[in-house]
Amino acid sequence: MPLPASSNCVYLSGSFASGMAHAASDFDIFVITDEPFLPENPTGVGHASVDPQAYPIVIRQLPEGRCDIEYWQALQVSRLIEKFAPGNSTLGFTIDDVDFLYRLSIARPLSGEDWLREQQETLARSEFASMVAQRAFGTADSLFEDALGMLAVGDQHSAVLAAHEGFGRAIDGLLAIHRQFSPRRKWRAQKLMRAGPELISLDEYWAIETMAEFASTAPDRWVRDVIERARDLMMEVELS
Amino acid sequence: MSRADDRPKRTLEVEVRRTADGMFIALGTEHRELSDVAATIWRLCSGRRSAGEIIAAVCSEYDVEQELATGDTLAFLEEMAAGGFIEWIAAAPTQITT
Q: What is the DSSP string of A58-116?
A: EEEEETTEEEEEEEEEHHHHHHHHHTTSTT-TTS---HHHHHHHHHHHH-EEEE-HHHH
Dist CA A196 CA A57 (whole Å): 35
Inform me whether the C-beta atom of residue A84 falls under 8 Å from chain B C-beta atoms: no
A103: burial class by Cβ within 10 Å (0-12, 13-18, 19+)? buried
Report the residue from B17, B43, B46 with minimal CB separation from A239: B17
- Note whether residue A4 is domain-resident: no
Which of B9, B11, B17, B45 has the most A C-beta neighbours within 10 Å, making it the best mutation to test the interface with A? B17
Is residue B92 scored above 80 in pLDDT?
A: no
- Position B1 scores a pLDDT of 61
Nearest chain B CA: its distance from A99 CA (Å)? 25
pLDDT at position A20 is 85
CATH for the B3-85 domain, from 1.10.10.1150, 3.20.10.10, 3.40.50.2000, 3.40.50.720: 1.10.10.1150
Whole-number pLDDT of residue A219: 96
Output the average pLDDT for chain A.
Answer: 94
Indicate if the pLDDT at residue A71 is higher than 70.
Answer: yes
* Nearest chain B residue to A144, by CA: B13
Q: What is the CATH number of the domain that holds A105?
A: 3.30.460.10
Q: Higher model confidence: residue B39 or residue A41?
A: B39
Query: Facing residues of B15 across strands?
Result: B26
Rounded mean pLDDT, A222-228:
98
- What is the total count of domains within chain A? 2
Domain map (residue ranges) of chain B: 3-85
Query: Is the distance from CB of A105 to CB of A120 less than 8 angstroms?
Result: yes
The verdict on A198 and A164 lying in the same domain is yes
- Residue partners of B75: CB distance under 8 A and separation at least 6: none
Q: Are residues A23 and A72 in the same domain?
A: yes
On whether both A80 and A178 belong to a single domain, the answer is no
Q: Domain range for residue A162?
A: 128-236
Domain end residue (candidates: A79, A100, A125):
A125
All residues of chain A having their beta carbon less than 8 Å from the beta carbon of residue B15 are 141
**pLDDT at residue A29 greater than cutoff 80:** yes
For the stretch A77-118, pLDDT in tens is 999 999 999 887 777 899 999 999 999 999 999 999 999 999
β-strand pairing of A54-62 with A65-73: antiparallel
Under the banding of pLDDT at 50, 70 and 90, the label for residue B75 is very high
Which residues share a beta bridge with B9?
A: B46, B87
Edge-first strand listing for the sheet containing A27-33:
A44-47, A54-62, A65-73, A27-33, A9-13, A108-111
DSSP annotation of B37 reads H
- pLDDT tens figures, A110-144: 999 999 999 999 999 999 999 999 999 999 999 99
pLDDT of A90 reads: 72
pLDDT at A223: 98
Same-domain check for residues A107 and A40: yes
State the nearest Cα–Cα gap between B23 and chain A, in angstroms.
8
Check whether residue A101 and residue A36 sit in a common domain: yes
- Which pTM value belongs to this model? 0.90
Residue of A nearest to B22 (CA): A238
- Which CATH number belongs to the domain containing residue A139 in this structure? 1.20.120
Q: Is A239 on the interface with B (CB under 8 A)?
A: yes
**Looking at the complex, does the CB of residue A86 fall below 8 Å from at least one CB of chain B?**
no
In this prediction, residue B34 has a pLDDT band, given cuts at 50, 70 and 90, of very high
- Is residue A1 a part of any domain in this protein? no
pLDDT digits (tens, 9 = 90+) for A173-189: 999 999 998 888 999 99
pLDDT at B97: 65
Contact residues on chain A for B49, CB-CB shorter than 8 A: none
Q: Which residues pair with A65 in a beta bridge?
A: A62
Residues A136, A116 share a domain: no
